[in-house]
Amino acid sequence: YARNSNGYTVRAGSTFELSRLITGEASIGYGSRSYEDQRLRNVSGLLVAGSLIWKPTGLTTVSFSALTSIDESTLPGVSGVLSRSYSAQVEHAFRRYLIGTLKFGYTTADYDGSDRFDKIYSVGGDVIYKFTRDVHAKAQLRHDWLKSTVTGADYQATLFMLGLRLQR
């Protein structure tokens, strides 16, 4: 398949403040992608995005977000994937130098040109330790579950990452 394509995305949105403690942003738009290979159908759809951030204290932030996107695919006969992602996150600063985060996610993937439809669930957490203003260590643990309409495509995965960040 010749996967070269032309596409566009048009979005309009705004940020808002419901109170001093609750802020957010929202956008709506439309995206389309047409492929060079005539065997691949064009992918298009309504695109929405939004987030809501609640800061109940100076140390804790709770956020919710949603995003729709048109993604690429390498599966034969599938031109693209319409993905919808939803997430929730709680971040708390135990100390100025120690920040913990819990994350929950749910994503659906609708494969255009196929009967395949995936649901992906994830749960995880991060810990950031700030040695100095410029040097941080980050540990992340996440578990993902994929449930698919395609037999044999389901999986579970656990991911652990450890990193060091230098910023100036």
pLDDT at 66: 97
pLDDT at 36: 84
pLDDT at 27: 97
Neighbours of 124 (CB within 10 A): 19
**Whether the predicted pLDDT of 12 surpasses 80:** yes
Q: Among all chains, which residue has been given the structure tokens 């995880």?
A: 124
Tell me the C-alpha distance between 49 and 70, whole Å: 12
Tell me the C-alpha distance between 14 and 48, whole Å: 12
pLDDT tens-place string over residues 63-104: 999 999 988 888 888 888 899 999 999 999 999 999 999 999
Q: What is the mean pLDDT of residues 109-122?
A: 92
> Beta partners for 34?
6
Tell me the C-alpha distance between 158 and 142, whole Å: 6
| Percentage, residues of the chain above pLDDT 90 | 74
pLDDT at 35: 85
pLDDT at 50: 97
Tell me the C-alpha distance between 98 and 113, whole Å: 47
> Beta partners for 49?
27, 67
DSSP 98-127: EEEEEEEEEEEEEEETSS-EEEEEEEEEEE
Contact 70, 49 (CB under 8 A): no
Q: Whose CA is closest to 129, among 94, 88, 157?
A: 94
Question: What's the whole-number average pLDDT of the chain?
Answer: 93
